Structure 1
Amino acid sequence: MNEERNKALVSLKTSKGQIEGIIKMIEEGRYCVDISNQIIAAQALLKKANMLILKQHIHHCVKEAVIHDKGEEKIDEIIDILEKIIQK
């Protein structure tokens, strides 16, 4: 596993722990603003993990496809993903 994937995995595992904590906060009836702040923090980790995975994809899969004149499909995939990210 390369460095980007390792970092993404760490972010995902951390966000998993945060989400479990958020669920507990809701079950305990904690203050809504505190819960919201934790949700924002978990979202940030998920975004970070996604960017790391996309970075890895561009540096490896897309680069390899471009070298072999098969990059158009990979570039279109990245554009589709970016459109989804931007629309949110």
Structure 2
Amino acid sequence: MNEEKKKAIQILKTCRGQVEGITKMIEDGRYCVDVSNQIVAAQALLKKANMLVLKQHLNHCVKNAFLHDSGEEKVDEIMQVLKKIVD
């Protein structure tokens, strides 16, 4: 497993713990703005993990596809993901 995947897994585990904490905050009736701030922080972790996964994909899968003349399909996949991120 490469470094990007290891980092992404660690970030996702951290995010999982954060989401569990957010759930408890809501159950405990904590202040809404505090809950919202924690949700924003969890979203930032998900974005960071996603960027690591995409970096790994570009460095390995897409690079390999271009070496074997099938890179156009991988570019289209990346474009679809980027469209979801931007929209």
Q: Which category describes the TM-score, using the shorter chain as reference length?
A: over 0.9
Structure 1 segments (4+ residues) deviating >6 Å? none
2:3 corresponds to 1:6: no
Structure 1: gaps of 5 or more residues: none
Residue identity over aligned pairs, in percent, reads: 70
The superposition leaves residues 23-79 of structure 1 with CA deviations (integer Å, 9 ceiling, x where unpaired) of 000000000010000000000000000110000000000000001111000010000
Structure 2: gaps of 5 or more residues: none
State how far apart, in whole Å, the 1-side matches of 2:5 and 2:82 are: 19
1:17 matched residue in structure 2: 17
How many residues get paired? 87
Query: How is 1:1-88 mapped onto 2 (pairs within 5 angstroms)?
Result: 1-87=1-87
Structure 1 residue 2: deviation in Å? 0.5
TM-score normalized by the length of structure 1: 0.98
TM-score normalized by the length of structure 2: 0.99
**1:10 partner amino acid:** Q
